[in-house]
Amino acid sequence: MSVAEDRHAEIVRALKASESVTVAELARALQTSEVTVRRDLAELEQTGVLRRVRGGAVSTMLRGEEMPFAMREMEQSAAKARIAAAAVGLIAEGESVVLDSGTTGLAAAHELCARRVTVVPLAVNSMVVLASAPSVTLLLPGGTVRKGESSLVGPMAEQNISMLRLDTMLMTCCGLSPRGGITAHDLQDAAVKRAAAAASARTIAMIDSSKFARTALAVVCATAEIDVVVTDVDAPEDAVATLRADGIEVHCV
């Protein structure tokens, strides 16, 4: 992550904590000039996460909506890379894999490039990554591209996936509760995830620790329907213990 991306991530975290920030406060916290902060705020305004006001900015991130993809890609980036590598490490050569969308899904696409597998990607950005991988057989499901996310949604995606039988789904999500299940912000996205899990013999959920504190709008499935959870070492110990007690294999990396 670049220095500018680090600053952007810190600004987003500050907005999530207080919903408004001032240029002077950010300059002190980031140890940079107010000119640089104003430039950062202008760039972040273009992504839709904030609105600039006199002397600072206010958050435009609604609690029921997810952050833009570019902002989520900055969040927990190192942990997501470790999670993706560990999850792909559980895939055997020759397997057929349906790869979920999202930032961790994109990280997993890069890891899959070195494997001899058949991959059904549920996002256009992952397709681009995998298209040039010499040992990957790429199977495209079709569907409507969700704006800003590049994920595939809609009845075409659901129907095409339901006609396949796959070895493993690498699932991502917006929230996980050991008792409340796996959740997503978008209803159509949740439906595609359900179809992909139903078509797969095994589901591996790739979930960074921040997702344990969140519950999104649409239920994807109960945690009992997940076979393996790959998360990071900061995952809540009680949640990890509950998952393991329910017979779910959990890897903390």
DSSP string, 46-91: HHTSEEEETTEEEE---TTSPPPHHHHHHTTHHHHHHHHHHHHHTS
pLDDT attached to residue 12: 82
The length of the chain is 253
pLDDT attached to residue 66: 57
- Model pLDDT for residues 54-92, shown as the tens digit of each residue: 999 988 765 555 556 555 655 678 899 999 999 999 999
Residue corresponding to tokens 């994807």 = 220
Domain 72-252 classified CATH 3.30.70.2520?
Answer: no
To the nearest 5 percent, what fractions of the chain are helix, strand and coil?
45, 25, 30
Helix (H) or strand (E) holding 183: strand 181-184
For domain 3-61, give its CATH number from 2.40.50.100, 3.30.70.270, 2.40.10.340, 1.10.10.10: 1.10.10.10
The residue ranges of the chain whose pLDDT is under 70 are: 1, 61-75
- Model pLDDT for residues 227-239, shown as the tens digit of each residue: 999 999 999 999 9
Q: Where are the domains of the chain?
A: 3-61, 72-252
